[in-house]
A = this chain, B = another copy of it.
């Protein structure tokens, strides 16, 4: 598939908006970051009732300002991208559209009724920050360590989920009759999660002696369990610092793997390894 040829101006615009290598591109990124942050803070302030009551008009004005800026950005992106439809259907294309839509919808819909939903949709703008992900070179190590330990962490979280189900059911059996906080299994499971993760709101607490005894056991158990994900991720980070200790080389004679980087002879058959 051939790349469509753009006018130099449109090419330049593409460079500024979609890349961060040129000074102009960097300025654009920083400006965008400031606008996103400012718009997110505005939505947050807007949600505070007393502020909304007093500065309703100012908020509407500022909101429309942001909407116009983001609309202009959205249209510019559509204009200078090589395949507009592909961009519009991409994750960030949809996010960009959802971020400006609420203001236009508020013109049609009775805003007073749907204001919660409109506000929440506006906060989708937060996701646009990830567009500037290339700022965060340092984050790659973290992401890589998490990716490498993903499978183990999923298994661990599955195990924790089963555990809270069992603990929740047990506490429902013990406290269910006398304590309204444990009146159903889902509620007891919620309590088990709050306890095992050491969050401990205290909105639901055991009141019987047996319940307290089991809670104590669950907490001490949670103490040991919290060590597992930390151990997994720590080992991953350590291994990223030191690289693979075992080389990928296999012996030409016996074909076995698992040699260390400093090995000269195969530790299994004694023949020389490839240099």
Min C-beta distance of A161 to chain B, whole Å: 7
**Which of the 9-residue segments A22-30, A90-98, A185-193 touches chain B?**
A185-193
Structural contact, B262 and A261, CB atoms closer than 8 A: no
Q: What 0/1 readout, one digit per residue, does chain A (188-211) give for beta carbons within 8 Å of chain B?
A: 011001110111111101000100
In whole angstroms, how far apart are the Cα atoms of A268 and B256 in the complex?
11
By beta carbon, the residue of chain B nearest A254 is B264
Chain A interface, number of residues (Cβ within 8 angstroms): 111
A160 to B139, CA, bound (A): 12
Minimum distance in angstroms from A200 CB to a CB of chain B: 4
Chain B: minimal CB distance from A207 (Å): 9
B243–A186 touching, CB < 8 Å: no
Residue from B205, B209, B229 within 8 A of A186 (CB atoms):
B209
Oligomer: number of copies: 4
Contact partner of A201 (CB less than 8 A), chosen from B136, B205, B255, is B205
Q: Is A232 an interface residue (CB 8 A)?
A: yes
Q: Which of A135-177 contact B (CB under 8 A)?
A: 136, 138-139, 141-142, 145-146, 151-162, 164-166, 169-170, 172-173, 176-177
**What residues of B have a CB within 8 angstroms of the CB of A139 in the complex?**
152, 155-156, 159
Contacts A49-B183, A120-B169, A267-B263; A189 near B44 (Cβ below 8 A): yes
Contact B47 A153 (CB under 8 A): no
- Cβ of A266 under 8 Å from chain B: yes
A235-263 residues with Cβ-Cβ distance < 8 A to B are 235-243, 245-246, 255-263
Query: Taking the complex as formed, is A212 at the interface, i.e. its CB lies under 8 A from any CB of chain B?
Result: yes
Q: In the complex, what residue of chain B is closest to A159 when comparing beta carbons? A: B139
Rounded to whole angstroms, the CA-CA distance of A115 and B240 in the bound complex is 54
CB of A227 within 8 A of chain B? yes
Are A231 and B233 in touch, CB under 8 angstroms? yes
A117 adjacent to chain B (CB < 8 Å): yes
B126 near A138 (CB under 8 angstroms)?
no
Query: Knowing A165-B123, A220-B193, A231-B145 touch, does A186 contact B275 (C-beta < 8 A)?
Result: no
Known: A200-B201, A201-B201, A220-B193. A138 touches B157 (CB 8 A): no
Does A43 lie at the interface of the complex (its beta carbon under 8 Å from any beta carbon of B)? Answer: yes
Given contacts A126-B165, A139-B155, A187-B212, 4 further A-B contacts (CB under 8 A): A190-B212, A198-B199, A202-B203, A270-B271
